[in-house]
Chain A
Amino acid sequence: MSPELINLIIQATIESLYMVGVAALLGTAFGLPLGVFLATSRKGELFAAPIVNRVLGIVVNATRSTPFIILVVAIIPFTRLIAGTSIGSSAAIVPLTIASTPFIARLVEAAIREVDGGLIETASSFGASPLQIVFKVLIPEALPGLLLALTLAVVSLLGYSAMVGAVGGGGLGDLGIRYGYQRFMPEMMLAVVVVLIALVQLVQSAGDYLARRVNRRLRHH
């Protein structure tokens, strides 16, 4: 493979990491509070608001059931509004964030609901406010689950980021389609797939390692 092509792969990998990284960050920034709220706002819970909970749940489900490629196209006006353009890696961050937020929220909700309800009662019994319970009890206790959820979200985002290549989003997917598919360069397609597999492996291993490290529940010694 020529140095120019290798250079292209490196360039595309950086673009992909940029899109995924920023989208994961933003997705977490929106998805974490949303997920915590979904996990604590049913009837009788910490931030009880059953109606808001229902409405948010429906919105989350609706976003998650829209195929990603449709979502990308459907929100182009919104993307233009935010990013100034609908083409390129920065523009792709908008649909990636919108797709990952409800996904992360549901994963966060599941992880928070895993925390023993007795701990919430315990913290309440010594006068913790709802926000103190979230930050001092729920999030620390759910941390292993949250890290695994985030890992899953980043892996999914890598897949999505390849998809935005189809609509000119740049990155590894873009490279694979333009060179591997449209120019009949199977070695380029292979290279893109190999890089993606390596990235997913890396992310998954890192996530597993971190989740294990913070998990004090089952400590073998």
Chain B
Amino acid sequence: MNAHQSLAVGQPIAPPEAVSAAATEPDAMVRFAGISKTYPAYRGKPGVNALQDIDFAIPRGSITGVIGRSGAGKSSLVRLINGLEKPTTGQVIVDGRNISALTGRDLRLAQRSIGMIFQHFNLLSSRTAADNIALPLEIAGWAKADIKARVSELLALVGIADKHDRYPSELSGGQKQRVGIARALATRPSVLLSDEATSALDPQTTRAILDLLANINRELGVTIVLITHEMSVVRQLAKEVVVLDAGRVVESGHVADIFTHPKHPITQSFLAEVIGDSLPVSLASRIVAAPSAGGQAVIRLQVRGAGAGDTLVARLARELGLDVSLLAARIDEIGGQHVGSLVLGIPGSDDVQTRVLAWLSQHQFPAERLGYVA
């Protein structure tokens, strides 16, 4: 399917299992089995197949990212988990219960064990921070004194104990989302759904909110499902990832596996957002197709895996006795694995370059020759 696949076995990484183990996974918090979702034609608009052939499981206690472009079906998928939408076919099993079969009071009871946070926070403007957090508890019929104690606890948990009596209009975006998180956790849910919860926040606030979610996952053991179109969110927080495209799951598994060896073009494009696949302009403009005397071949190689590439340039230079120059490099970390690319300038004849490419291939660094520079 792509050039890397055959070459890039890569560095040792954790054995694949998890999300991809699909609907048979015993310790799944959420299981999608044979799900499709079709919106019927309405008022002249044609029907839409929002989701098709969805089969995967979200492990208990995990942080699972569901990433896709807009219109990929992410929102429909997450709304199947808390029963806001019903699948056209198939079942969604949440914590052992077929939520897609529940209606009315049974569904409402089940929904209390599934919290949700939203891109635009969706706080009631007429209620203070504390009263917003109290809302799901009032709905669940808690006693006043219990609500009061629980709300104080939650405000402290999300780090805004001093905003108890503030109205949403008096809070910053990050504080509003903290209220949203506290509200979602109020009834002690086992699953927390996040629908683009950081998309309306600046990068710094996003980081703080993602840290908070990581803490909540660690300390409360809540399974978190993150819907996002932002690679940075998956990279920072998720351990498992599901890549959605046009209503289908195109890849799923450990974040480290998926992004060290992206197979589907959509996954590759998400990865490119993090590590970049464009050359510096000053370099790109100098690359020509034919070699020139005394010039260098430009080779780009992919770096994948833990510690991959750490000593690569030094080893290459030492073992082949070459003056390798580093023209460009970008390495980042996803799920504890290094991913990135190096662009090297290799002097010498075609023969030398062939040896370099063979060496790289032997050490399992997928590489390509981009051209030559003088």
Q: Which residues of A contact B (CB under 8 A)?
A: 116, 118-119, 121-129, 132, 136-137, 140-141, 143, 214, 216-219, 221
Contacts and interface: CB of A to CB of B under 8 A. Distances in A.
Given A219-B169, A221-B170, A126 B125 contact: no
A122 B116 contact: yes
Contacts of A140: 124, 126-127
Nearest to B116: A125
Interface stretch (B51-59, B134-142, B151-159, B260-268): B134-142
B138 A136 contact: yes
B136 A214 contact: no
Interface in B95-133: 105, 107-112, 114-116, 118, 120, 122, 124-127
Given A132-B139, A136-B139, A219 B170 contact: yes
B136 A126 contact: yes
B135 A127 contact: no
Contacts of A127: 107-112, 136, 139-140
A218 B168 CA distance: 10
Contact of B167 (A123, A124, A216): A216
Interface of B: 82, 84, 105, 107-112, 114-116, 118, 120, 122, 124-127, 135-136, 138-140, 167-170, 183-184, 186-187, 193
Contacts of B107: 127
A216 B108 contact: no
Contacts, number: 75
Nearest to A137: B124
Contact of A126 (B115, B120, B124): B115
Q: Across chains A and B, which 7 residue pairs bring their CB atoms closest together, nearest first?
A: A127-B111, A127-B108, A126-B136, A122-B122, A216-B167, A125-B116, A217-B125
Contacts of A217: 125, 169
B124 A141 contact: yes
Given A136-B139, A218-B169, A221-B170, A125 B109 contact: no
A118 B170 CA distance: 20
Given A126-B112, A127-B111, 20 more contacts: A116-B122, A119-B122, A119-B124, A122-B116, A122-B122, A123-B139, A124-B84, A124-B111, A125-B82, A125-B116, A126-B187, A127-B110, A127-B140, A128-B139, A129-B108, A132-B139, A136-B138, A141-B124, A216-B169, A219-B170
B125 A118 contact: no
A117 B110 CA distance: 22
A126 B170 contact: no
A184 B127 CA distance: 56
Contacts of A218: 169
A136 B124 CA distance: 10
B133 to A, nearest CB: 11
A85 to B, nearest CB: 44
Nearest to B114: A125
Contact of B139 (A126, A219, A221): A126
A121 B115 CA distance: 12
A127 B139 CA distance: 7
Contacts of B109: 127
A136 B187 CA distance: 17
Most chain B CB neighbours (cut-off 10 Å) among A127, A129, A137, A140 = A127
Contacts of B186: 126
B192 to A, nearest CB: 11
A219 B127 CA distance: 13
A217 B169 CA distance: 6
Contacts of B184: 126
A214 B126 contact: yes
Given A118-B118, A143-B126, A217-B125, A125 B84 contact: yes
Nearest to B105: A129
Contacts of B170: 219, 221
A131 B40 CA distance: 28
Given A118-B120, A118-B122, A123 B135 contact: yes
Contacts of A116: 122
Nearest to B82: A125
28 contacts: A118-B118, A119-B124, A121-B122, A122-B122, A123-B135, A123-B139, A124-B84, A124-B111, A125-B84, A125-B111, A125-B114, A125-B115, A126-B112, A126-B135, A126-B136, A126-B184, A126-B186, A127-B107, A127-B111, A128-B108, A129-B105, A129-B139, A136-B135, A137-B124, A140-B126, A141-B125, A216-B167, A218-B169
A216 B114 CA distance: 29
Most chain A CB neighbours (cut-off 10 Å) among B126, B127, B184 = B126
Most chain A CB neighbours (cut-off 10 Å) among B84, B115, B118, B139 = B139
Contacts of A216: 125-127, 167-169
A221 B165 CA distance: 14
A123 B137 CA distance: 11
Contacts of B140: 126-127
A136 B132 CA distance: 11
A195 B121 CA distance: 48
Most chain B CB neighbours (cut-off 10 Å) among A129, A143, A214 = A129
A127 B186 CA distance: 12
Contacts of B126: 140-141, 143, 214, 216
A126 B133 CA distance: 11
Contacts of A221: 170
A191 B122 CA distance: 51
A213 B24 CA distance: 56
